[in-house]
């Protein structure tokens, strides 16, 4: 019961991955606010948790509705006195090749995945800062990390969440807030028709939810991207190669083209601690290391 006394909010928890996440968190002792757009689905999952001896409440709301999300966070605080864990899981698909996709479909997916996570995280952020404790999980995807045909809207939103994680983890660190991404592979209603039938049993949502525990516990990492599915777990990283100092000059562009294999060589690549690492290294390579002053 490693999450005993902790309060968790899970969005999109009326079925699929969200339901699996909520049930697992409750099994580990957390009190769970079950959010879903579908009130009956949210009630059903909350009821499952209570029937198993856990504590749960249902709250029906779109993650894009700022007022309702704020109301949900307020209710969690009134009922349980803290918000310790937020799992941003809610999402939709509108798959279509970029050539055939209209901008409304693109905006809608970005609004739900990216802005929905922003709205929910903003609603709990100050509480977590005040508590000096928080665990935030953003749901990314291999479609964002590596691309997938027909998912330019979904992939763009999912990679944007990685960027959000990187900065929130830096800003939250001194307040005891750890922020991570989960990239799950699971057979859910969202993936109907996308996965072969023989893969469905191996990709049950519970296999991905097992990885969630590592991201929300007392000893959770921060700024990690955990890829999870079928019982397999791996960590993805955004890396930076050593590169090559070319400088300027009339033929610099030609040198970049000619040196592309060297520039791309992954030997000695790093995972930067923060965005300015790139600028710091570029200036150091150019002999101007003192030109950049980092801010606290």
pLDDT one-digit tens code per residue, 241-286: 999 999 999 999 999 999 999 999 999 999 999 999 999 998 899 8
pLDDT (mean) for 291-296: 56
* For residue 161, pLDDT beyond 60: yes
**CB neighbourhood size of 92 (10 A):** 16
**pLDDT at site 186:** 82
* For residue 42, pLDDT beyond 80: yes
* For residue 294, pLDDT beyond 60: no
DSSP annotation of 240 reads: B
DSSP annotation of 124 reads: H
User: Which amino acids are annotated catalytic?
Assistant: 154
**pLDDT at site 15:** 96
* For residue 159, pLDDT beyond 60: yes
The tokens describing 268, both together, are 């000695």
DSSP letter string, 45-104: HHHHHHHTT--EEEEE--TT-HHHHHHHHHHHHHHHS---EEEE---------TTT--HH
Q: Give percent of the chain above pLDDT 90.
A: 88
* For residue 203, pLDDT beyond 70: yes
Residue of higher predicted confidence among 296 and 2:
2
Nearest partner of 89 among 148, 170, 155, 22, judged by Cα: 22
**pLDDT at site 296:** 45
């Amino acid at each position: 019961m490693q999450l005993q006394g902790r309060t968790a909010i899970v969005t999109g928890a009326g079925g699929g991955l969200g339901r699996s996440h909520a049930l697992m968190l409750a099994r580990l002792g957390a009190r769970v606010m079950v959010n879903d757009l579908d009130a009956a689905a949210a009630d059903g999952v909350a009821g499952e948790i209570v029937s198993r001896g856990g504590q749960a409440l249902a709250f029906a709301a779109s993650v894009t509705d700022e007022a309702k999300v704020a109301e949900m966070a307020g209710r969690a605080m009134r009922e349980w006195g803290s918000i310790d864990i937020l799992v941003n899981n809610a999402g939709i698909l509108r798959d279509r090749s970029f050539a055939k996709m209209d901008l409304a479909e693109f905006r809608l997916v970005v609004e739900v995945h990216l802005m929905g996570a922003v709205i929910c995280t903003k609603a709990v952020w100050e509480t977590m800062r005040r508590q000096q404790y928080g665990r935030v999980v953003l749901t990314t995807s291999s479609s964002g990390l590596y691309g997938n045909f027909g998912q330019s809207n979904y992939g763009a939103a999912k990679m944007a969440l990685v960027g959000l994680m990187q900065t929130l983890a830096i800003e939250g660190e001194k307040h005891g807030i750890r922020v991570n991404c989960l990239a799950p592979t699971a057979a859910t209603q969202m993936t109907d028709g996308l996965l072969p039938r023989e893969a469905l049993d191996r990709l049950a949502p519970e296999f991905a939810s097992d990885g969630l525990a590592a991201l929300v516990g007392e000893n959770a990492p921060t700024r990690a991207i955990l890829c999870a599915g079928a019982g397999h777990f791996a960590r993805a990283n955004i890396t930076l190669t050593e590169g090559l100092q070319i400088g300027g000059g009339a033929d610099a562009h030609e040198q970049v083209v000619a040196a592309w294999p060297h520039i791309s060589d992954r030997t000695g690549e790093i995972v930067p601690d923060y965005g300015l690492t790139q600028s710091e290294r570029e200036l150091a390579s150019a002999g101007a290391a003192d030109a950049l002053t980092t801010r606290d």
